[in-house]
Structures are given as structure tokens and as C-alpha cells.
Amino acid sequence: MLHNFNAGPSVLPPAVFQQASEAVLNYNNSGLSILEIGHRTPEFTAIMEEAASLVKELMQLSSDHEVLFLHGGASTQFMQVPMNLLDSKETAAYADTGVWSSKAIKEAQLFGKVDVVCTGKETNYQYIPKDFAVPNDARYFHITTNNTIFGTQWKKIPATSNVMVADMSSDIFSRMLDFSSFGLIYAGAQKNLGPAGVSLIIVNKNILGKTKRIIPTIMDYRHHIKEGSMLNTPPVFAVYVCLLTLRWLKEQGGIPEMEKRNEIKASLLYHAIDESNLFQTTVSKEDRSFMNVCFTLKDAALEKPFLEYAKNNGIIGIKGHRLSGGFRASLYNALPLESVQVLTGLMKSFEELSA
Amino acid sequence: MLHNFNAGPSVLPPAVFQQASEAVLNYNNSGLSILEIGHRTPEFTAIMEEAASLVKELMQLSSDHEVLFLHGGASTQFMQVPMNLLDSKETAAYADTGVWSSKAIKEAQLFGKVDVVCTGKETNYQYIPKDFAVPNDARYFHITTNNTIFGTQWKKIPATSNVMVADMSSDIFSRMLDFSSFGLIYAGAQKNLGPAGVSLIIVNKNILGKTKRIIPTIMDYRHHIKEGSMLNTPPVFAVYVCLLTLRWLKEQGGIPEMEKRNEIKASLLYHAIDESNLFQTTVSKEDRSFMNVCFTLKDAALEKPFLEYAKNNGIIGIKGHRLSGGFRASLYNALPLESVQVLTGLMKSFEELSA
């Protein structure tokens, strides 16, 4: 039994792997692979419609919010968001809470003015800034709700009068938020939603069409809305796997149930770290991510032996990102509690062995 | 037994479906699904490297040519090509041979001047223009080598002194060309290469970096080259299926063998149409596509009955595009000769039944 703590692409429910595997051979008893079905067929349009409709239902979205499944990852959205929302003389506000925020800021600067209203850079992004103001005239305010590399998370979405834009790539569907209060939400699928190769975009249609910029057709959200995410051939298989995961999510009890489970998993692991004499985390306590738990060994010389020990006991993907070092355990929706129990058990026994 | 003549997404080799299906459950006996493997792991970097290296080998590319697997389809390239190659005051030449050419032209016009050096529009794109000149100072000359909707194909690539750019989405790997003579080749994967959700880009690195435009990071080919198509999380599964198809292609004898088979399949079908009293094609004889065979019934009232008859006998996906009407049989690499024999047999028996 393997326990997959990968930061993304990452674990999905076993039932999703099973159904996806069958569909590659024979989709829904059609005699055809899901990979060879035309995207304009009733078979696939039903998949796309059900996926979008499940997102609306699970997130309790307002009727103003449109759901899109588009090519590319969040990195494409770093460009596509300002291209659609920001005129060259306007200002957008961004919170800088890590690597992905910084990349989003860099791309936005190509399209307009960017006001970085707060940053956690001076502490290597170990906390979420609390004390900052967003100018009223900022066209939108962009946050990265969960910072995969540094293990911090916005526990409370800041209340501003601005249009809120959020990169939720690594915590979408993990906790209930007032999703309809956002102007635009985007997320690469490869953590809580599906395989790499598709992004989910949720946009309040009322914020679109306000820039004077001429937008290339494939980058204009309005065209994708009009065509129901079928402006061009969509990433058929990736969308299908997202649908399977969304169905699983609903069966399990939806986002509130995921939130409960994620809280239990994260608390168990943070508790093990806090209790330990060997392990530690430098992430600000109130900002600890429930998705990506970053921690280190007080004695760096023990890192390699622990990684080996964990690996030999079925633990996959806990090596930390090079920018934060140490370890990172990603506890996405599909990771079972059992995997966290195995990991914390190994941390304890490693501590005993090292004593 | 089904015979899948879909125009794309379309048929892939049965062995590819089999291996892809297994990998979704357990990739290479790793105990992990291909969907949950990190893209920075040795497992996936090996996949990406082998895929790029097979493209270079099969297409006999020069060392100046770089191979990229990027998010998005050809529609993204319609924008990305001029964004990278064309300054706002420069001119690019385009041949207008159908719907996809027209879309490419429309996007290029957002980035610079476009000289449409020839068009087949006045005959509803039933032929490939022969008589035209490309200005020497055009930054590049763009053609669509195969026109999926109208069933025409450039049999001879025009010889010009300009940088050649080609959309080969629907005939890549189907015939041998002097691929190294192109400045840039792009192709959405979902015909001869793999599933929807990834594009193959082949670019001569010497043509890059010549515009003054500031290019968003994710759109700049140079960044993707530098990072080996791993600038951001790539569409892992789609790239893996491309690799499986490329391996199959090599095992079968490479592009020359595909070309031989495709010629046999296309000749068989065109011969059946030419011999028939019921069926016809209006595509100019010397420009007939070997990938997408478009034809009609002389008596339009027989269309529906023939579609029904074909469908009842296992034929999938031969309804023509709404812009060209009638029928379209796509004969991509993975479509076996047997499927064409079944189709031509049905055309003959339908004619006998209708007599």
C-alpha cells in the first residue's frame, strides 16, 4: 500500500482511477475509447454539462457565475486574468504570499499597473499578511488562497469592496467559502479536481467586457462562456476525470464533508509535529495550510535518513520544495486519513529509533 | 466491430488504448496511476524526453529544431505564433485555404499586418491555390497543410525564401516532408498523435527572439525550450499517450510506412467515389486530402438513409462538417485499411440496394 503525498499532480480517489481506466478502453459501453470520441457528440457534451453543473451545485454559485473548463494551467491564468480585466492605465491589487503570487504579479505587470498591497517575502512567506489596505479604485484584488510551496493558507478571505480574484489551485473544493462573492476563481485541476491539463475558471459574467483591450479569441472568457467551454476542442479526457472526481465529491457529502476530513487530517499531522522533539514547522500557527503541511527536522542531518525510512514504508512525495526545504505532506481531498496515520506513526517510530 | 472515422478526437491504435488504460491504474508497476505521478519525477521526465526525442527521430529534424509539448490546441497557436514572430509593423503572409486558415489569419491581424496571398474562398475552398506570390519581406508564410473541413491538402509545400510556418494538425506524421525546412510547425494532438489537450510545436530556434514585443511568460516559446516543456505542469497524461502513439509509429515503420498505408486507404475510398453513380466529390482532384475524404450523394435525399445504413453496420463519424455537408471519412494513421474496405463495401451495397 502506497501513501501518495504528492503536491500535484496528486492522488485522486481509487474509484476515479478505476472508472477512468475503463473509459480509456470502452466509454460507457459505447465500444469506443473516451480518447477517440468527438467533442461535439452527445456523449461528450453531456460530460461537459454535468461537470459544469456539479461545480455550480457543490460551490452554491449564483446565477451570475459561469463555469469554464479551459486548456492550460494556472500559469496561463496569470496572463489571461489581467488581459481580460485590466486596462493598461488601471491598477490591480495583488497580495504577495509566495512563489505563485509573485508569478501572477509579474504577468499582470505586462497589462496594467500592479499595486502589491502586502508581502510575506521578508520572512520567506511563513505567514499571511493581515495588516494592509486595498485601494478602492483597484480594478480587482488578487490573492492565492493556499500557498503550496510554503504551506500557508488564507483562513479568512479579506473583506474589501474590490472585485476579488483568487487562485485556488491547491485548495479548491477543500473547504466551504462564499464562492459567489468572488469575481473570478481559477484553479489548475491537478490537485483536488483531476489530472494535469485543464483549469477550472469560475467567473461572474458582470465583470467581463469592461476593458478596451482587443483580446485574442482563445483568451477571451466571453467566447468560452458563449460556447460552453467548447470554443475549440477541449481536453476531453481531463474534463471527464474532473467529472468523475466531482461525482465522487458529491457522493461523499460535498465540500463541507471534505472540509471536516481535511481538518482532521491536518490537525493530526500538525499535532504530531508540535508534540515531536525532532520535527518542527516554522509556518505561522494561525496561517497553517490544511492542504500542504511543510515541516523540517531540527537536526538537518536526519532529513535523508527520515526520507529513506518513510519511503521504505510506502510514503511517496514528502520531499519539500527546494525553496522551503525539509518536508511537505500534501493532504488533498482524496488522501485518506489512514495515510496521515501511517505518516505520523512513522514520525513517532523514527523519533524513538533516533533517541 | 466499430470503424471510427471521426475527424478528431479520433481513432488511436488499440495497443495505445490498452497501455494508456493500464497506466491509469498502475503506471509501469509503480503502484501509482499515471494521473497521480509528479511531473518533476524521473518517471515523467523520462516520458517527456523520450517523446521529444522520438519526434526528432521520426521527422529527421535538424539540431536547430526544438520539440515542445504545450497546453492548448492549434487555436492557441493561432495567437502564439504571431505573438512570438511578428512585430506590429511587420507583415506576415497567409494562405487562406479554409476555416482554420481564416481563424489563424484573424488572430495574426491582432499582432501585425497580414497579407493574404491567396484564397480558395470563392469556390468554398474546394482547391488549393497554385498561382500566387509571397512578398520577400514577409516575416513568415503560414499554410494549413491539410484542411480537415473541406478535404484539401497541400501536396507540394510551396518553395519560398520566407520562413515557413505550418499548421499540420490534421496531417502530421501522415507523410514524409522536409520538416527541417520549416521555421515552425504546430499541431493539436487529437488526430494522428494522441488525445485532445496537448499540442506539438516544432520550432527552429533561430527564428525566435526577433520581435520587440514583450511576451507573457507562458506564451514565449524560448521559456518552454529552456525548461524542456516543463515551464509549468504539463498535461501529463496527454503527453504520455502521445509517447505511446509515437512508439507505435516507430514500430510500424515510421512516417514512410504511414504514408504508404494512407495512400492505399485514400486511393481505395476516392476510387469507390469516382466509380460510383451515387457518390461524388467536388474537391479538386490534385488537391484531394489523404486524411479527410469529403464526399456527397448526388441525390441529397439519400444522405440520411446512407448515414443510417452505415451506422447500423458499425461506421462511426462520417457525417460531414456543417460547412461542407455530406460525408467526411477521416483516414488517420491509426484507422485500419479494413475500416475503409468496410465503408467502400457499404457504399457499393447501398448503391445496389438503391438501384
Q: What is the mean pLDDT of residues B295-309?
A: 97
- Neighbour order of strands in the sheet with B279-280: B279-280, B292-297, B327-330
Q: Would you list the domain boundaries of chain B?
A: 14-252, 254-354
Partner residue facing B4 (CB), from A20, A36, A317: A36
DSSP assignment, residue A319?
Answer: B
- Kindly report the CATH class assigned to A254-354: alpha beta
Confidence at residue A317, expressed as pLDDT on a 0 to 100 scale: 96
Report the gap between the CA of B294 and the closest CA in chain A (Å).
Answer: 17
Residues 6+ away with beta carbon under 8 Å from B288: B151, B152, B153, B266, B270, B281
Provide the sign of the torsion angle of the four alpha carbons B97, B98, B100, B106, taken in this order.
Answer: positive
- Whether residue A83 contacts residue A262, with contact meaning beta carbons closer than 8 Å, is answered with no
Beta bridge partners, B294, equal B328
- When pLDDT is cut at 50, 70 and 90, the band that residue A119 belongs to is very high
Check if B14-252 and B254-354 are the same fold: no
Decide if pLDDT at B307 tops 90: yes
Look at residues B159, B140, B134, B12 and name the one whose alpha carbon lies nearest to residue B77: B140
Decide if pLDDT at A59 tops 90: yes
Alpha helices in B61-190 (DSSP H): 74-85, 99-108
Confidence at residue B323, expressed as pLDDT on a 0 to 100 scale: 86
Residues from chain B that touch A333, judged by Cβ atoms under 8 A, are: none
Q: What is the mean pLDDT of residues A9-38?
A: 98
Average pLDDT of every residue of chain A: 97
Report the gap between the CA of A355 and the closest CA in chain B (Å).
Answer: 33
Decide if pLDDT at B83 tops 90: yes
Confidence at residue A38, expressed as pLDDT on a 0 to 100 scale: 95
- When pLDDT is cut at 50, 70 and 90, the band that residue B355 belongs to is confident
The grid coordinates listed for B334 are 491509426
Any CB–CB contact under 8 A between B75 and chain A?
yes
Across the interface, do B235 and A235 touch by the CB < 8 Å criterion?
Answer: yes
Helix (H) or strand (E) holding B290: none
Burial class (CB in 10 A: 0-12, 13-18, 19+), B108: buried
- When pLDDT is cut at 50, 70 and 90, the band that residue B140 belongs to is very high
Decide if pLDDT at A98 tops 90: yes
Confidence at residue B1, expressed as pLDDT on a 0 to 100 scale: 87
Angle at the Cα of B173 (from B26 to B295), degrees rounded to 5?
A: 110
Across the interface, do B197 and A236 touch by the CB < 8 Å criterion?
Answer: yes
Percent of chain A with pLDDT over 90: 98
pTM of the model: 0.98
Confidence at residue A95, expressed as pLDDT on a 0 to 100 scale: 98
Look at residues B179, B114, B170, B204 and name the one whose alpha carbon lies nearest to residue B289: B170
Look at residues B348, B335, B263 and name the one whose alpha carbon lies nearest to residue B11: B335
Across the interface, do A218 and B107 touch by the CB < 8 Å criterion?
Answer: yes
pLDDT in tens, A108-117: 999 999 999 9
Average pLDDT of every residue of chain B: 97
Burial class (CB in 10 A: 0-12, 13-18, 19+), B38: buried
pLDDT in tens, B185-219: 999 999 999 999 999 999 999 999 999 999 999 99
- Provide the terminal-to-terminal Cα distance of chain A, rounded to the nearest Å: 28
A64 classed as catalytic: no
- C-alpha radius of gyration, chain B, whole number: 21
Percent of chain A with pLDDT over 70: 100
Minimum Cα–Cα distance from A109: chain B residue: B216
Confidence at residue A323, expressed as pLDDT on a 0 to 100 scale: 86
- Whether residue B76 contacts residue B200, with contact meaning beta carbons closer than 8 Å, is answered with no
The grid coordinates listed for B244 are 505511446
- When pLDDT is cut at 50, 70 and 90, the band that residue A270 belongs to is very high
- Whether residue A292 contacts residue A8, with contact meaning beta carbons closer than 8 Å, is answered with no
Look at residues A133, A63, A125, A67 and name the one whose alpha carbon lies nearest to residue A98: A125
Confidence at residue A291, expressed as pLDDT on a 0 to 100 scale: 98
CB pairs under 8 A between A and B: 186
Decide if pLDDT at A1 tops 90: no
Supply the residues of B annotated as catalytic. 100, 167, 191
Amino acid in the structure at residue B207:
I
Alpha helices in A229-291 (DSSP H): 236-252, 254-275
Confidence at residue B217, expressed as pLDDT on a 0 to 100 scale: 98
Confidence at residue B349, expressed as pLDDT on a 0 to 100 scale: 97
Helix (H) or strand (E) holding A317: none
Report the gap between the CA of B236 and the closest CA in chain A (Å).
Answer: 6
Interface of A with B in 118-177 (CB under 8 A): none
pLDDT in tens, B43-82: 999 999 999 999 999 999 999 999 999 999 999 999 999 9
CATH architecture of B14-252: 3-Layer(aba) Sandwich (3.40)
Amino acid in the structure at residue B61:
L
Within its chain, how far is the Cα of B117 from the centroid?
23
pLDDT in tens, A223-248: 999 999 999 999 999 999 999 999 99
Residues 6+ away with beta carbon under 8 Å from A332: A8, A10, A11, A174, A191, A192, A291
Interface of B with A in 88-107 (CB under 8 A): 103, 106-107
Q: How many CB atoms lie within 10 A of CB B130?
A: 11
Confidence at residue B7, expressed as pLDDT on a 0 to 100 scale: 96
- Whether residue A175 contacts residue A291, with contact meaning beta carbons closer than 8 Å, is answered with no
Burial class (CB in 10 A: 0-12, 13-18, 19+), B212: exposed
Q: How far apart are CA A163 and CA A140, in angstroms?
A: 5
pLDDT in tens, A149-186: 999 999 999 999 999 999 999 999 999 999 999 999 99
